[in-house]
Structure 1
Amino acid sequence: MKVFIEEQKFTQPLVIIGLAIAVIGAIVSVIVRLETISQSNLTEKLTALSGVIIVLLVILLFLNLKLKTRIDEQGIFYQFYPFHRSFKVIPWNTISNLYIRRYDAIFEFGGWGMKSILRKNKGKSYTTKGNIGLQLELNNGDKILIGTQKKEELQRVLNTYNKKAAYD
């Protein structure tokens, strides 16, 4: 039994730099207004600190975001944590077609992350970085793209299980 397991996170340098700039900007804005803030009441202090709190919450979210993929004899499992608390399962017999393809995250889906596009022909995407993904076309017409950084390993496992899918 072959098993494909992959865990991806948002580790791109631009994401890290962007978050660092946001933290620095929020902290600088508080420092600049520190004298005014220190003489304010509690509500005004919380309002002034809300920018820093929001930036810290966004950083906490990015630190915890993970795309997990597992493929085995039962089907394809994926989880975009913390939005999915457990794995979503796509049994082999519900897949009409699947293939590895290049995608353009910006133009096709509006960026990386968990995306559900209103244009039905694109479907949903779960990506963290890069431009290679596993495209799934389900028997009910739904489409799902799951990003990968392990194209060759994924292809080897798909070759093992391709006879289980409904399209064969």
Structure 2
Amino acid sequence: MADEQTILYRERQRFRQFWLWVVVLCVAAIFWVGFVYQVLLGGVYGNRPVPDVQLSILFVLMGLGLPYFFYRMSLTTEVQPGLVQVRLWPFHIKPVKIPLHLVRDYERVTYNPISDYGGWGIRWGFKGKAYNMSGNEGVKLYFYSRDPLLIGSQNAGELFAAISEAKRAKG
């Protein structure tokens, strides 16, 4: 008999900010242009060009790897009875488990990602720690013995309701 936990809520978020993709793709484009011009067409790219092998390595890392890295990065939030799990791939190999018996209170919040936490991702600010990918809504968890934790969500109402149900169920 499999001991499968009931999943009350699951959300996977990715970076959706247009400006972020403009920056990432502009950086990648610099390496694409350099690679095509110098390696494929035989020109000299820049005042102090690097050897073709080094430029090829940089092209793979920055021209292909950087956009792929941002494309694959995701924040997964999962609520089970008595437990919330958060995983920001590729930074967390295993999900961060938050037992709900340690949570004294929680609320649905609208926040400013830049001024409150300094941006998106895994962030620390004066208002506690945050896991967020995009948007400005989430659920803030208040603990008995540590700083608050904000979990950003595109469906903050559903996340709040699932945490309420999970806290009542207590696994």
Place the TM-score, normalised by the shorter chain, in its bin.
0.7 to 0.9
Mark the runs of 5 or more structure 2 residues left unpaired by the alignment: 1-5
How far apart in 2 are the matches of 1:70 and 1:61? Answer: 22
Distance in 2 (alpha carbons) for counterparts of 1:46 and 1:143: 48
- Aligned partner (choices 93, 98, 102) of residue 94 of structure 1: 102
Give the alignment of 1:16-31 within 5 angstroms: 16-31=21-36
Stretch deviating more after TM superposition (45-54 or 125-134)? 45-54
- Which of 59, 64, 81 is residue 72 of structure 2 equivalent to? 64
For residues 15 and 135 of structure 2, the distance between their equivalents in structure 1, rounded to whole angstroms, comes to: 10
Which letter maps to 2:147?
Answer: D
User: How far did 1:50 drift?
Assistant: 5.1
Q: Percent identity?
A: 22
* Number of residue pairs aligned between Structure 1 and Structure 2: 159
Any idea what the Cα deviations from partners look like across 1:84-107, whole Å, max 9, x if unmatched? 111111111111221110111111
Could you list the structure 1 runs, at least 4 aligned residues long, displaced by more than 3 angstroms after superposition. Answer: 29-34, 46-51, 161-165
Mapped partners of 1:148, 1:50: distance in 2: 37
Q: Give unmatched runs, 5+ long, in structure 1.
A: 38-42
Task: Find out whether 1:48 has 2:48 as its counterpart.
Answer: no
Is it true that 1:130 corresponds to 2:135 in the alignment? yes
The alignment partner of 1:35 has SS state of coil
Q: Hey, what does 1:115 align to over in structure 2?
A: 123
User: Normalising by the residue count of structure 2, what TM-score does the alignment of the two structures yield?
Assistant: 0.78
- Are 1:139 and 2:144 an aligned pair? yes
Partner amino acid, structure 2, of 1:96: R
- The answer to whether the Cα contact below 8 Å between 1:92 and 1:164 also exists between their aligned partners in 2 is no
Q: 1:4 to 1:30 in 2, by over 3 A?
A: same
| Map 1:68-83 → 2, pairs under 5 A | 68-83=76-91
CA–CA distance in structure 2, aligned partners of residues 49 and 146 of structure 1: 39
d(CA) in 2 for partners of 1:156, 1:93: 16
Letter of the 2:128 counterpart: G
